Amino acid sequence: MKGKDFYSAAHLIVAAIRILEHRNSASPSIDEVCRTISFSLEQGNFVCRKLNEMNIIDVVEGAFGTKLFIKDHLLLEEIPQEAMEDNLEKELKKFQSAKKDYIQKIELFKAEQEKKKKNLFSELEKKFKKDLDEKKS
């Protein structure tokens, strides 16, 4: 978050929602907000989820994707101005770790399947050679 605390991040998100609503005459998506304020998508989702839980914004999923709406901007001032960056960093690391574990499981599964396939083909080849040798004899 480049040294920003949760309070600052929340204000940036709400300000970006307002600017994009004004510019586009439509509610923005999380992706648009993140691109506007140079946040990662994970970071933006984390902050938006927290703001949604605090009833500051609404996150509405519809036919045209997930849109953000400002619900009560005055609640921003109830956010403590202490650093919550540690929690955000923990959540990001936890998410990235879980993602790496998932990818490793997939790779392991693929390797096992490839090994099973090779064993099956070698067994079939042995059977065919055995049958072929029996027919020749």
Amino acid identity of residue 79, one-letter, is I
The tokens of 120 are what?
């099956």
Q: What residue spans of 4-84 are helical by DSSP H?
A: 6-24, 30-37, 41-53
Tell how strand 65-70 and strand 57-62 pair up: antiparallel
pLDDT at 88: 72
CATH of domain 6-83: 1.10.10.10
pLDDT at 84: 56
Question: Tens place of pLDDT for every residue, the chain, 137 residues?
Answer: 444 688 889 999 999 999 999 999 999 999 999 999 999 999 999 999 999 999 999 999 888 788 999 999 899 888 887 655 567 778 888 889 999 999 999 999 999 999 999 999 999 999 988 888 888 76
The tokens of 108 are what?
């392991």
List the chain domain ranges.
Answer: 6-83, 85-137
